Amino acid sequence: AQSVTQLDSQVPVFEEAPVELRCNYSSSVSVYLFWYVQYPNQGLQLLLKYLSGSTLVKGINGFEAEFNKSQTSFHLRKPSVHISDTAEYFCAVRYSSASKIIFGSGTRLSIRP
C-alpha cells in the first residue's frame, strides 16, 4: 500500500540547535516528495519538493531535505532553528500513478528558548 510514515509525532529542540524530521515512504518506481508546514490556525505551505535531479533539495526558511531512494526516506533538516519555526510539518508523496498527494501524520516541532 502507498503510505508515508513520520516516525516522530513531536520534536522539541532548543533555539539555534539543529533539527531533523524523519520521513519514510513506501517504495515505488517513481515518486514526487514534498514537505509542507502548517503554522497554528493556518493552511499548508510548501517548504520544498523533490521532483527529479539532485537528491539534496533546498527550500524556504533555511530548510533542506535529502531524497534517499535506497532507504525510501526524505528527511527534513535545518542547521539552526528559530522560535518562528514552531509549527507542524507534514511529509507528503505523490506516486506517479496517481494524482493525489498522500500525507504523513505530521511532526509537531516545538522550539524552546
Partner 1 sequence: EPEVTQTPSHQVTQMGQEVILRCVPISNHLYFYWYRQILGQKVEFLVSFYNNEISEKSEIFDDQFSVERPDGSNFTLKIRSTKLEDSAMYFCASSGGQHEQFFGPGTRLTVL
Residues that bind partner 1 (CB under 8 A): 32, 34, 36, 42-46, 49, 51, 90, 92, 94, 98-106
- Closest distance of CB 103 from partner 1, Å: 4
Of 15 and 86, nearer to partner 1 (C-beta) is 86
**How many C-beta atoms surround the C-beta of residue 98 within 10 A?**
11
Of 42 and 80, nearer to partner 1 (C-beta) is 42
Of 9 and 80, nearer to partner 1 (C-beta) is 9
- Closest distance of CB 14 from partner 1, Å: 26
Residue 99 cell numbers, joined: 494524482
Strands 4-5 and 24-25: antiparallel
Task: Classify 28 as helix, strand or coil.
Answer: coil
Measured at the CA of 5, the angle between CA 59 and CA 101, to 5 degrees, comes to: 60
Phi, psi of 83 (to 5 degrees): -50, -35
- Closest distance of CB 11 from partner 1, Å: 17
